[in-house]
Structures are given as C-alpha cells and as structure tokens.
Structure 1
C-alpha cells in the first residue's frame, strides 16, 4: 500500500476532532499559551463519548489558535510527554484515552490525594472558603440534581477541584492535575447514571458539614470513600472503556 493510500485509510478510521479554541495572545509565550489552551480544550472535550479514536489536525489547531505550527508542535510535544497525546508517524496525533483498569487506578489515586487535601483543608481553609463550597449547590436545593444534570455535573467537578485547592498544598495540586483530566471526564459521564447525582449531593453535603466542624478524620474519610465508590462503580459498570 502506498503512503497516500495509508494516509487515506487512517483518515477514514478517525475523523479529526475540532476542539473549542480561541486565538491566543502573541505578546506572551506562544508555546506556553498553546499548551495551556490545548490542555484545557482536551479537558473540556468528552473524550470517552465513543470507542472511536480521537484524532487532532495540526493545521486546524494552528488556524484556531492563530499561530504558526511551530508553537503548536512544541505544545503537543509537552502534552505527549504528559500522556495526553499520542503521535503516530504518518497517521496523525491522537488524544490518549485510558482503559477501565487505568481509570479505576487513577480514581483510587485521586481518592488518596483528595482525602489528604480535605484533611489539610480543615486546617488551612477559612470559614468563608468552606461556606462557598455549600453555595455551589444552592441552585439544587429546590430540585433534584437529575433535573439539571449538566449544571450539576459542572458543580460536582468544581467541588472536588475546590477541595484540592483548599488544601494549600502545591505538591498535591501538581500531582493531581494530570489525573484530573481523565477523572473529570468519567465523573461527567457517570453522574447521570443509576441516580448517582442524588447520592452525590448527599455525600457532598456531609463532606461540607465535616469541613465546617473542622472534623479532620471524618472529612478525610468521607472524601476518600466518595471517590472509592466512583472507582467501584466504574469497575462494575463501565465496560465500554475497554
């Protein structure tokens, strides 16, 4: 098969994904901005919506960002090193999706890190910061989360990210950031299944109460179990990841 035929077959196998991108500010580092925007766009994309491989088009990315291909290539090299992209010679660039086993292990790692973050939050977070966690769910007081699943999904993800940030631990933040992209995608996908949204908000309010009381042991325990329950759910129900 000729090179042209091989490329044609690869193109038919996986159409390029068009990420939501905006032109970047050329007064700052082009590579760093391209990296930040591409990473965020990948985090926002529903990368587990199907089994098809997700291919990116370097030319389209360059045009969307309003820069040459050089900073885009440099940014993609960084993203490949971090495990977000996979570059296949003569075929293209693909977003990396994890297997079910990898996702479960990532969630288990998240459980360990976020539970420690909750422990530290009981020590370092202010009353006002903890109060803001409760306000994240104000819109769902008079209705069930399932009635506003997209909005609740966003609040759910923001809640977990906020707990990590309240730890004041830069090491935890740096360690968890790459895990977050995949765990976030799975949280978004599974929150609407098996009434998990309603159970989730109950868990969240119990966690907030523990943080408000500065109950270090309970906050750590509740946060860890909340994520381990997600890991168990993925293990049992998410065969589509394989």
Structure 2
C-alpha cells in the first residue's frame, strides 16, 4: 500500500527532528514545509498535528511549530512513570521470557548506536526490548512514548551500559529484587 503524503511528510520531519537537522529554536510553518515538500498545506498540517500529539512539537498559534523541549520537572514526572512501568516489565520478563529472549537484551549493552536519533540509542532500544519480552502486547507501545520523551531530553546521553548488563544478569537469575534495584539506578531523576 502506498504511503500517504501526510505520512511521508511526518516521517521526514520526525527524521529531521531526531537527527538534529531542525534547530530546536526555530519555528516551522505550514507554508514553508508545504513548499519544501512540494505538497499542499493539508498533509503538512496533518503531520504537524500528529507530531504535536506525540509530544515532538508544540504549536504556537499564528507563529508556527517548535520542537518540544522538556523541563527537568516534566522529565522527572516521565521517569517516575517509567520506573513503575519498567518494574512491571522486569516482573513479567522474569515470569514469561525465555533465557534466549533475555539474552537478546545484551545486543543493546555493547557499542553505542543510533547517533542523534533518540528512538535508536542503545538505552532506548534496551528498555523497549525489555518491554517486548514481557509477553504483554500493550507495554511496548505505552513505554515507547515515555522513552522517547526521556531520550529527547538527553538525560541518558551517556547511558551506563554496565547497569544494563546487571539488569540482564539479574533477569537470567530470575532475581526480581535485584533486577528492579538495578533498573531504579538506571532510570535516574534529574
């Protein structure tokens, strides 16, 4: 099935946000983006509204759109929710995941990857994979938005991959208390 114009515009703008091509202090306008993509304003508007609803952008009426920069207080609120959700992930992974699935987390404890794309960092991908191995189909989707917000704020820019190793080891031992302790140390508040 062919990708809709609004999806193409959305994917392109999101990629530019993730890679840092779009300056977080500049305004984006529907007219400017429509001209850039060679489309009408409607697909641009749809893409921008979706990016706003996902927390990537903030709309400023009659001015345009700007990349959403989260305050320390907002990120701490995200991290509090993440801690609770990811404790559940650890519990469910211990109950439901095979050793092979748990070992798949080690892929994200090695060299850093992802560049400037917050959705592709080792930290984001490690925590996303942890949610995937729980056996709960809803957890990855719920956690994805929170992980992106935390990564956008660059609070994990130098993620401690050693803590991830400890989490994996505790999961393999099926030691819930130890795994949750390492997880809490990994998901820091500002």
TM-score by length of 2: 0.77
Matched residues in 2 for 1:63 and 1:213: separation? 56
Q: Which residue of 1 aligns with 2:51?
A: 79
Paired residue secondary structure (1:97)? coil
Alignment of 1:1-242 (within 5 A): 27-39=2-14, 41-45=16-20, 53-59=25-31, 61-62=33-34, 67-139=39-111, 154-187=121-154, 190-191=157-158, 197=159, 200-227=160-187, 230-231=188-189, 234=190
Give structure 1 stretches of 5+ with no counterpart. Answer: 1-25, 140-144, 192-196, 235-242
Report the CA distance between 1:207 and its aligned residue.
0.4
Matched residues in 2 for 1:218 and 1:54: separation? 45
Mark the CA change 1:123 to 1:187 in structure 2 (over 3 Å): closer, same or farther.
farther
Q: Max radius of gyration: which structure?
A: 1
Contact 2:163 2:182 in 1 (8 A): yes
Mark the CA change 1:106 to 1:209 in structure 2 (over 3 Å): closer, same or farther.
same
Paired residue secondary structure (2:83)? helix
Give structure 2 stretches of 5+ with no counterpart. Answer: none
Paired residue secondary structure (1:169)? coil
Q: How many residues align?
A: 187
Paired residue secondary structure (1:167)? coil
Mark the CA change 1:127 to 1:103 in structure 2 (over 3 Å): closer, same or farther.
same
Deviations 1:185-240 (A, max 9, x none): 2346641xxxxx5xx2321111010111222333233213321xx21xx2xxxxxx
